[in-house]
Structure 1
Amino acid sequence: MLRDREALSLRIETLTLQGTTEWNEDALVINEALGLYGVLDGATSLQPYRGPNGETGGYLASRTLKQFFEDLTVEDTASDSLLPYVVEANRRLRRQMAEAGIDTNRKDALWTSALAVIRVRDRYIDYAQVGDCMIIAQYEDGTIRVLSRDQVAHMDKISKNAREEGIRQGFTTREQLWDIVKPILLNNRTQMNTIEGYSVMSGEPEVADFIEYGRINRIRLKSLLLVTDGLFLPSDGGAEGEGASPVGGRHADAYAELLSRIVQSSLETYARKLMQLESEDKECQRYPRFKVSDDKTAIWIQFLG
């Protein structure tokens, strides 16, 4: 979807595509009255849960957070910083889980979501990030600036290494490889929002200590890209080191390539090509990953002057 906002001279392109799972657990945040935009990437709990219409916990997490940010009004936002609103959104998520009967003391039962949100002002941008949603800035001279850090990459690396070891041992189906990886994912869950682990919106009060946030000015800022991790290009099993190709997205040059591909075509074209690449590797052997195609969500904001 493409739209222009004349008041702030913005061109905004948005995208959300469901992957190969039952629900699209990603979500877009669009609150034009506040100039507030974001992407969310829900993750299903490892304890089975279904909502009244069969929704997964990841879907409900991202939709709960989306609703919170889109319901905010000017009167609700006295602070310039996005920090207090992300903290309050996390509290809202905890209340929703409690109302649904979730034991909020069990990490493996929590609905979770990564988050990246920005608020566009005339002279500056406020931002906040949790998990592995990413924010990438492009300047008039071509400089690429990655505002966020993938808070989950080091945990993902452990499970991906186990998966690749399974492939080397001769396991060939996603089901076999899932049996190898699941215990590692369960252990990773115990480290949510701890100093040894990773940040994620989970309803836990500890989230408040792990939110990254700040402000950049708009001097010569050309565009901002917010993406969920489903839009990173997959790296093959032989790639060495984090960020050897854009999927891991661990290095700035990987994000620069991602943005360059989108600039050369469009969000839609880029995403469709990526899904075609994934569909040609249905057993996830060439490009080690946990599902054929992850949900893909992005907002690309261009500043027109």
Structure 2
Amino acid sequence: MIIESLFKASPHKRVSEDSIVLNGKINVYGVFDGATPLVPFKDEKGMNGAYVASNLFKDYFLQLYRSHLTLVEGVVAANKMLRERMQKYKVNQEKYEELWSTCAAMIKVEEEGKISYVQLGDCMIIAEYQNGTIKALTRDTVKDISYRAKAWREELRKQGVKLPDEKYFQDRTHQLIFNRSLANKEYGYTVANGKEEVVNFIQHGQVTTSEIKRLLLITDGLFYPKCSMEETFKRIQTIGLEVYSIELERYEKKNNLRSDDKSGIMISLCDEERST
């Protein structure tokens, strides 16, 4: 395998809320994107809940994860550790807006010629097959969440639930608090936030090493505006993660767009025949 990686904090942040794991000993690779907190919290090192969540997952899969576990079992174990960490800091876990959470995209190269993958939220895994086809293996569940949240509020009102009118939710903070309440629900989005129900919403699957040429794992900070995942993959494959990230930051600055943390891993698979 040839592995290229990128880990870059947003220009307006002191530290990245993303994290990245490159565990070559057991062939586990992944990117994590902590969700920026809606309530203030700093641990003894001055880090917020997003940083703690994404780095807890990174540390687990770098140090504690064992290869006899599936990736899904690993995510469940790390999620339990996140719940216990929040308990330690007395986070009110009944309020979804106070939960520390992280999205994730991971792959594991298995011994029997299989590649397992798991995903949560808006981190993405895109594959290039040997026949040249480029396809996203995962679905971005955060996409259009505000639209779905509005539709769900309308449904709740029909059921007689009293909610503020939509003018109230035009306030960004109010909107985000409601969106967070939809974590790991059928009409919401997926995220590791310490809640046990995450196990029911982990996207997971397998592909064979013989059919895959390249795999790309990225956080949403590397999404190029108005480009599909397939188009994004082609750009990165052509110029590399570092140059791509520089061009994207220039585009964001030119168009007054918010620049997010950027993390990615490009894995190129090659057998002995293809590498000679």
Q: TM-score range by the shorter chain?
A: 0.7 to 0.9
Q: Structure 2 regions of 5+ residues with no counterpart?
A: 150-168, 272-276
What is the letter of the counterpart of residue 60 of structure 2?
A: F
Cα deviations across residues 89-142 of structure 1 (Å, max 9, x unaligned)? 100111111112211222111111000111013511011111110001101221
- The match for 1:204 among 195, 209, 215 is 195
Residue correspondences, number: 251
Confirm or deny: 8 A CA contact 1:23 1:56 kept in the other structure.
no
Residue 296 of structure 1 aligns with which residue? 262
Asked whether 1:220 is paired with 2:207, we answer no
Asked whether 1:38 is paired with 2:27, we answer no
Residue 169 of structure 1 aligns with which residue? none
- The match for 1:137 among 127, 138, 141 is 127
- The match for 1:92 among 75, 81, 90 is 81
Rounded to whole Å, the distance in 2 between the matches of 1:142 and 1:28 is 27
So what's the TM-score if we normalise by structure 2?
A: 0.86
Q: Which region of structure 1 is more displaced relative to structure 2, 264-273 or 49-58?
A: 49-58
- Cα distance, 1:302 vs structure 2: 0.3
Rounded to whole Å, the distance in 2 between the matches of 1:147 and 1:181 is 31
What is the letter of the counterpart of residue 234 of structure 2?
A: S
What is the letter of the counterpart of residue 266 of structure 1?
A: G
Rounded to whole Å, the distance in 1 between the matches of 2:198 and 2:93 is 13
What is the letter of the counterpart of residue 141 of structure 1?
A: N
Residue 232 of structure 2 aligns with which residue? 258
Confirm or deny: 8 A CA contact 1:116 1:130 kept in the other structure.
yes
Residue 152 of structure 1 aligns with which residue? 142
Confirm or deny: 8 A CA contact 2:209 2:269 kept in the other structure.
no
- Cα distance, 1:193 vs structure 2: 1.2
The DSSP-based 3-state class of the residue aligned with 2:34 is strand
- Cα distance, 1:219 vs structure 2: 2.0
Rounded to whole Å, the distance in 1 between the matches of 2:267 and 2:110 is 13
Confirm or deny: 8 A CA contact 2:30 2:265 kept in the other structure.
yes
Identity %: 37
Residue 279 of structure 1 aligns with which residue? 253
What is the letter of the counterpart of residue 153 of structure 1?
A: K
Asked whether 1:24 is paired with 2:16, we answer yes
- Cα distance, 1:157 vs structure 2: 4.8
So what's the TM-score if we normalise by structure 1?
A: 0.78
Rounded to whole Å, the distance in 1 between the matches of 2:148 and 2:262 is 23
Rounded to whole Å, the distance in 1 between the matches of 2:254 and 2:236 is 21
Distance 1:58 1:179, change over 3 A: farther
The DSSP-based 3-state class of the residue aligned with 2:75 is helix
Distance 1:179 1:57, change over 3 A: farther
Q: C-alpha root-mean-square deviation of aligned residues, in Å?
A: 1.9
Q: Structure 1 regions of 5+ residues with no counterpart?
A: 1-9, 160-177, 235-244, 247-253, 285-291
